[in-house]
Amino acid sequence: MKLLIFGKTGQVARELARHCPAGWQMTCLGREDADLGDPDACAAALHGHAADVVINAAAYTAVDKAENEESLAATINGEAPMLMAQAAAATGVPFLHVSTDYVFDGSGDAPWKPDDPVAPLGAYGRSKLAGEDGVRGAGGVHAVLRTSWVFSAHGGNFLRTMLRLGGTRDRLTVVADQIGGPTAAADIAKALLAMADAFHNGQGVSGTYHFAGAPDVSWAGFARAIFDQSGMAVEVVDIPASDYPTPAARPTNSRLDCSALETVFGIARPDWRISLRDVLDDLSEKNE
């Protein structure tokens, strides 16, 4: 199978390249090949590559910065995926697109289902929702995969921030009233590859799906697990989100109902605690 990936250096894109099955051909397009800030160029790049499945793993992910750069975020996260999906639809190629829990307002405490009402709290969420709408409206075979709290051994993420801060402090205050499912980039990549295989074999079903690590936990709880597994003696003190104001509001409830993905594709929620151990092992090997 021939895969075309938009993204090369991001967390998920790197894991897609790492976990690509033997015998598959994968082409990863970085910014120098297809800049999502130029949506027309991205659509042209798709037309210029023969592929059996296209995966968009590239995005504008600076949540707080997006509040002052909403136009740019909307271009990268909204217009570019729409034109890419239209190009994929025109050529009959399945298009897989990664999205986020930030399309929801985070109210209540029930896990969000794919067809629940959306109401983004900020510019980043609005831009990602626009991309989702564009992909669904393109009329081709597609899947929108919403995920949450992505972590890996590379890039900017909560895990790496905790390890960096924990290296210089013995006590950290961490938000405890936001709940979600930490999700390893490697697990997202494996899920996307399994979905790509299903679509290639005519067994995929177009739609919107959720995928997140289990069990659901607070940021503070995630931080404790990070320090416990890494052997760092750092005390985590719970605080409310109101004590840690940010330019962009975050959803309080990021729980995702992932049952549809398991029903249709047979992909179950991964245990993030096991994935965390794998990522910490990766980091240890990188530092040796």
CATH top-level class for 2-287?
alpha beta
Place of tokens 């949540």: 63
Q: What is the pLDDT of residue 48?
A: 86
| Residues 227/236, Cβ–Cβ less than 8 Å | yes
Least confident of 20-34, 107-121, 259-273, 274-288: 274-288
Write out pLDDT tens, residues 32-42. Answer: 888 899 999 99
Q: Given a cut of 70, is residue 200 above it in pLDDT? A: yes
Q: Given a cut of 60, is residue 288 above it in pLDDT? A: no
Cα dist from 91 to 4, 53, 95, whole Å: 13, 11, 11
Per-domain residue ranges for the chain? 2-287
Write out pLDDT tens, residues 12-32. Answer: 999 999 999 999 999 999 988
Average pLDDT score over residue span 100-129: 98
Q: Given a cut of 80, is residue 211 above it in pLDDT? A: yes
Give the active site residues: 124
Q: Given a cut of 90, is residue 286 above it in pLDDT? A: no
DSSP 8-state symbol, 15: H
pLDDT tier at 60 (50, 70, 90 boundaries)? very high
Whole-number Å distance between alpha carbons of 258 and 278: 22
- Helix H segments across the chain? 11-19, 39-47, 70-74, 80-91, 123-137, 158-166, 185-200, 219-230, 259-265, 272-287
